[in-house]
Each structure stands twice: as structure tokens, then as C-alpha cells.
Structure 1
Amino acid sequence: MGIEDFGGGTDPHSDVLVVTTNDVPGYRVQQVIGEVFGLTVRSRHLGSQIGAGLKSMIGGELKGLTKTLVETRNQAMERLIEQARARGGNAVLMMRFDVTEAADVGTEVCAYGTAVVIAQEQ
């Protein structure tokens, strides 16, 4: 597995900019739309569960579970962007992730932030 299997984030050519900061240098906020989020819950694959159990005995990274978490975070981001776009936003400020166990059957990942309309400063 290469480094690209463990990355994430938005498409650099997306029409919705997502940042973890309170503002975007060179842009001003024209309108605050409000909180948006993308949520997904994923169960663990049986094969990765067995592999994780064996790997935990000898130590090391659980690559199958890592890849599943990356895919889950990316899906939550896609849903966040879809919601911001649907509400008329072109950016999400202060984006964060929240990750929790979902009733011992999977992992819940929520990407959330503030949808806004930004414009480049003149």
C-alpha cells in the first residue's frame, strides 16, 4: 500500500473549499450559512477483524483498519461538501472530524464545520 492509500482531503479542483481555519487569506466571508456535517458509520470487514486480532498479538500497524478509516473519513468529507453545496455554500470553515465507536459494530465518523459563501478580496 502506497502513501496515496492513506491520504484524504478534498479534490483541489472542487467548487467547495474546505479548511480547518477560521478564515481564508485573501477572501472575505459574504454570508454565514451555518453548521453542516457529513456522517457515516462503517462496520468492520471480517477479514480485517481477524487480521487485526492476529496483528495485535505481535504489534504493528493494522493497515486494513487504517485503510477502512481513511475511506470512511473521505466519505464523511464528501457528504459534508454535498451538504454545503446544497445549502448554497462555496466553502466550509473550521472543519473537524469526530470519530466514535458505534455500539461495538462499527466506527462513526462525522465531518463538520461552518458553511459559508466567500469571495476573493479585491
Structure 2
Amino acid sequence: MQSINVGKDFSDHPIGRYRDDGPESGEVFREDVLIPKLQLLKGSEKLEIILDDDVEGYGSSFLVEAFAGVVKVGFMTSEQLLEKLTFKYSDEDFEFFEKKIKEYISEASTGSAKGSR
């Protein structure tokens, strides 16, 4: 199983929506980390997202752009993305972020982002 440890592989302070918001934004995570990892998956392989290692929390703008953005740019449908992702955390408080990510993905419309693929 492929994995992304957000705090170790990306940033211990993920924040913001767009690249203009800085190098720790949701758009940077999606385009430079998440989509490249998703492209490496074969068949029914899943991608594990480790949410709580060196990360204190997430803002909704980061989560929407990072995860729902995959659907909005037309890379995958919400159903395909939800099928590919699993989440891991040892801090029970991070269950909230997993639920929000799944909610944002489920509500996203394929190809609804400006300049979608």
C-alpha cells in the first residue's frame, strides 16, 4: 500500500487553499503530492493518508482544495477517489478531519474547478 504522511512528507502546518497562499497550501499538496501518488496506484491498490503525525490540525480551505480538488479538476470522480483513499491516525480527534475530507469529496462536482483538465 502506498502512503502519504502529511506531516512528514508535506508539512507540519498545512494551510491555505491556493499556491498563492504559500508552499503548504491544499493546491500544492494536491498537485505535487496527492495526484502523483494516486497515479502510481495499480488496480485495487489504496493510498493511505496519515493525518496526525506532526500535524496539529487542518483548515477547511486546505482540505477542500487538497482532496475535493482532485474531483473538481476532473482527475477522478468522487466515488473513485473515496475508493482509493484510506485514513490513519492515532489521535481520535483526527476522526473529525477524516469525516470532513470524505464529506468534501462526496459533495465535489467533477470538472467544476476553473481550468479543470
TM-score, with length taken from structure 1: 0.23
Name the larger-Rg structure. 1
Higher helix share: 2
Relative contact order, CA 8 A, sep 6+: which one is greater? 1
Higher strand share: 1
TM-score, with length taken from structure 2: 0.24
